[in-house]
Amino acid sequence: MQTLKNDRFLKALWRQPVDRTPVWIMRQAGRYLPEYREVRKQAGSFMNLCTNPELACEVTLQPLRRFPLDAAILFSDILTIPDAMGLGLHFVEGEGPKFHRPVRSAAEVKSLPVPDPEDSLAYVMDAVGLIRQRLEGEVPLIGFSGSPWTLATYMVEGGSSKNYGRTKGLLYGDPATAHELLGKLADAVTDYLNAQIARGAQAVQVFDSWGGVLSPETFRDFSLQYMQRIVEGIRPGPDGEPVPIILFSKGCNGHLEALARTGCQALGVDWTISLTEARGRVGDQVALQGNMDPAILLAPRDVVRQEAAKVLESFGHGTGHVFNLGHGITPDVDPEHLGTLVGAVQEMSVEYHRA
Amino acid sequence: MQTLKNDRFLKALWRQPVDRTPVWIMRQAGRYLPEYREVRKQAGSFMNLCTNPELACEVTLQPLRRFPLDAAILFSDILTIPDAMGLGLHFVEGEGPKFHRPVRSAAEVKSLPVPDPEDSLAYVMDAVGLIRQRLEGEVPLIGFSGSPWTLATYMVEGGSSKNYGRTKGLLYGDPATAHELLGKLADAVTDYLNAQIARGAQAVQVFDSWGGVLSPETFRDFSLQYMQRIVEGIRPGPDGEPVPIILFSKGCNGHLEALARTGCQALGVDWTISLTEARGRVGDQVALQGNMDPAILLAPRDVVRQEAAKVLESFGHGTGHVFNLGHGITPDVDPEHLGTLVGAVQEMSVEYHRA
């Protein structure tokens, strides 16, 4: 494989010196881009887009043609694993993801297979390989998965949820079955991320999108514990080099210290805490990724610049910061505003890395 | 007015000794009760139920007939103030609240009136008076309002929202207009709560349901500051006694210290922090109200008891705790499970109040 031309992102994850703060944006390949919407239309459905490696590769590369981003992220969905387990993922317009066969009973959990990623998830692996090839070493490629807890909520609820009543009902009412489900998911996620790494992913991120709906005790037992197991199971890349892992537990600022102790390299941070405080609490155990409120991209461009400056200042001097939003970019953002943001980070971050 | 027969709730808010931990439940008058659904059907619409003092009084009293709760809370909606400002509140089945005339421009904000609660909100005041009369001093009556920030999100978005893009767009893009809107709302909420107090509310709660979507800086400037102004404007009751104020900023555990410094008597706490930690951080500045995950009421009854015990233990010995959920009870709860919870709190909390 090609030598990596821009290793700023990987270096920042390992807290090594960089010339400026690297930047990528969650959901950078997404609906706010007209060229994405064009390919999505061609594909006919969101699932077709995810399962076609050529199209998934194309949309992965689109934002990199527009903006000088420091990383690419695999275009896929977090629910590919439950789909490969046989739950029947589909998308209902305006309602989000749904499963034909939700998992609720102990018997249903017991009969769930742990999928072989090179078999039922081969389309993802093919996309990873193709993206790595087409990237030609310009920037590193990030692989990802949902966290076991987050995947479990969709599998038990049968889709998105407001209160997670069924999943929490299982967790509180039949914790043994909940643990069995989460254990299988931890194994499946570990295999899935290792397969992405084997095909060329140079960093991996675990999205614990719904960790924030749990109490401190249940977060530790039903989400954190399983992410820890994944961190411990991640294998080095094909070159023998260790692959950095980013854990992003949205709405879990109360747990930053515990997340940092899992052995991961970086934590995603949402915008409800200042990076000054987050950095103070995790010290030099991990890098931090974040954390501008995505809604700021809806404000005038001078405000976008000003708020980007605040985020940089809030992390302060030194390495260990990857600039990102605190959540995915929303479809209503004008791409030119993202251009302003990326440019501002490039330009204004240099001073924080002078020796 | 009658002497209050059960002052456990008010005493706990003032952190005075009590014989056991008082308990009430957010949304205790609500859809999980068949007798509520019956009255709601009679009323024809949710708005008819809110605007009819006789019916609002009836549903307020329903949970007290079933459970030995230590407080009643006025049945109403948080959006009565924007409705009285002329926005045209209505409810679309399955979609939640909507406004016919959302407020988005500086001119629209400027022309908003601050309603006289004894005029356009007389139906709420009549309900407060009627409930006080019918309660016959059994338990105290809690009045409430939405926080300025929370009301503003509905007014600007025109209803519920996922990302609060329009409201945050205003906040970041035209902060002067956002402050003008929030200032008017702070005045309106203060007047509204004082009118409820004049008619007999013995404690008031401000629901800052969406404070948790703000960054630390914007929370302080656009939500906290206006709640502070409300706390400062609350007047004593008709008997000349001060009326305790509870602030509940959901998802704002990072701001407990700042909320405690507003001068309020108690903080609502959601279930994503332990009461041990919350109490450690606010010390004896305020009482704490909460904080069981409402989803636990969907688990078997022995689990409900067990989790109630954990919440009591997590606050520990001494006064200053009002037992509640960390958010409203959901419509799918079996009322018998709430009975189990209330009974468990009554029984198990006694030991925490022995001298």
* CA–CA gap between residue B268 and residue B261 (Å, rounded): 14
Instruction: Give the model's confidence band at B95: pLDDT under 50 very low, under 70 low, under 90 confident, else very high.
Output: confident
Backbone φ and ψ for A199, nearest 5 degrees, come out as -90, -5
String of DSSP letters for B137-205: TSS-EEEEEE-HHHHHHHHHHTB--SS-HHHHHHHHH-HHHHHHHHHHHHHHHHHHHHHHHHHT-SEEE
The predicted-structure confidence for B17-33, as pLDDT tens digits, reads as follows 999 999 999 999 999 99
Residue pointed to by tokens 């978005």: B157
Contact call for residues A156 and A185 (beta carbons, < 8 A): no
The predicted-structure confidence for A95-124, as pLDDT tens digits, reads as follows 889 999 999 999 999 999 999 999 999 999
The predicted-structure confidence for A12-44, as pLDDT tens digits, reads as follows 999 999 999 999 999 999 999 999 999 999 999
B329 touches chain A (CB under 8 A): no
End-to-end CA distance of chain A: 33
- What integer pLDDT is reported at residue B93 of this predicted model? 79
Mean pLDDT taken over chain B: 97
* CA–CA gap between residue A310 and residue B70 (Å, rounded): 47
Q: How much is the average pLDDT of A80-86?
A: 97
* CA–CA gap between residue B318 and residue B320 (Å, rounded): 7
Contact call for residues B275 and B325 (beta carbons, < 8 A): no
- What integer pLDDT is reported at residue B94 of this predicted model? 79
Of residues B164, B273, B277, nearest to A295 (C-beta): B164
Backbone φ and ψ for B276, nearest 5 degrees, come out as -60, -50
Cβ–Cβ below 8 Å for A216 and B293: no
- What integer pLDDT is reported at residue B355 of this predicted model? 78
* CA–CA gap between residue A143 and residue A81 (Å, rounded): 14
The distance of Cα B333 from the centroid of its chain, to the nearest Å, equals 20
Cβ–Cβ below 8 Å for A298 and B253: no
Instruction: Give the model's confidence band at A89: pLDDT under 50 very low, under 70 low, under 90 confident, else very high.
Output: very high
DSSP code, position B319 = S
* CA–CA gap between residue A44 and residue A50 (Å, rounded): 11
Q: Which residue of A has its CA nearest to B327?
A: A163
Written as one letter, the residue type at A88 is G
SS3 sequence of chain A: CCCCCCCHHHHHHCCCCCCCCCECCCCCCCCCCHHHHHHHHHHCCHHHHHHCHHHHHHHHHHHHHHCCCCCEECCCCCCHHHHHHHHCEEEECCCEEEECCCCCCHHHHHCCCCCCCCCCCHHHHHHHHHHHHHHCCCCCEEEEEECHHHHHHHHHHCECCCCCHHHHHHHHHCHHHHHHHHHHHHHHHHHHHHHHHHHCCCEEEEEECCHHHCCHHHHHHHHHHHHHHHHHHCCCCCCCCCCCEEEEECCCHHHHHHHHCCCCCEEECCCCCCHHHHHHHHCCCCEEEEEECHHHHHCCHHHHHHHHHHHHHHHCCCCCEEEEECCCCCCCCCHHHHHHHHHHHHHHCHHHHCC
A168 touches chain B (CB under 8 A): yes
Instruction: Give the model's confidence band at A50: pLDDT under 50 very low, under 70 low, under 90 confident, else very high.
Output: very high
Which residues of B are catalytically annotated? Answer: 27, 31, 40, 77, 154
Backbone φ and ψ for A190, nearest 5 degrees, come out as -60, -50
* CA–CA gap between residue B149 and residue B153 (Å, rounded): 6
- What integer pLDDT is reported at residue B1 of this predicted model? 57
Contact call for residues A338 and A24 (beta carbons, < 8 A): no
Cβ–Cβ below 8 Å for A303 and B251: no
Residue pointed to by tokens 């400062």: B232
Q: How far is B306 from chain A (nearest CA, A)?
A: 10
Whether B2 has a pLDDT exceeding 90, the answer reads: no
Instruction: Give the model's confidence band at A1: pLDDT under 50 very low, under 70 low, under 90 confident, else very high.
Output: low
The predicted-structure confidence for A142-201, as pLDDT tens digits, reads as follows 999 999 999 999 999 999 998 999 999 999 999 999 999 999 999 999 999 999 999 999
CB atoms within 10 A of CB B354: 7
A 244-273 residues with CB < 8 A to B:
251, 253-254, 271-273
Whether A337 has a pLDDT exceeding 70, the answer reads: yes
Residue pointed to by tokens 């009870």: B329
Contact call for residues A145 and A204 (beta carbons, < 8 A): yes
Which residues of A are catalytically annotated? Answer: 27, 31, 40, 77, 154
Portion of chain B with pLDDT greater than 90, in percent: 96
The predicted-structure confidence for B334-348, as pLDDT tens digits, reads as follows 999 999 999 999 999
A237 touches chain B (CB under 8 A): no
Cβ–Cβ below 8 Å for B272 and A254: yes
- What integer pLDDT is reported at residue A36 of this predicted model? 98
The closest of B200, B191, B194 to B239, measured between CA atoms, is: B200
Burial (CB < 10 A; 0-12, 13-18, 19+), residue B290, is buried
* CA–CA gap between residue A2 and residue A138 (Å, rounded): 9
The predicted-structure confidence for A275-289, as pLDDT tens digits, reads as follows 999 999 999 999 999
* CA–CA gap between residue A326 and residue A87 (Å, rounded): 30
String of DSSP letters for B60-115: HHHHHHHS--S-EE----TTHHHIIIII-EEEETTTEEEESS---SHHHHHT----
Q: Which residues of B touch A254 (CB under 8 A)?
A: 253, 272-273, 277
The distance of Cα B334 from the centroid of its chain, to the nearest Å, equals 22
The predicted-structure confidence for B128-139, as pLDDT tens digits, reads as follows 999 999 999 999
The predicted-structure confidence for B144-200, as pLDDT tens digits, reads as follows 999 999 999 999 999 999 899 999 999 999 999 999 999 999 999 999 999 999 999
- What integer pLDDT is reported at residue A201 of this predicted model? 98
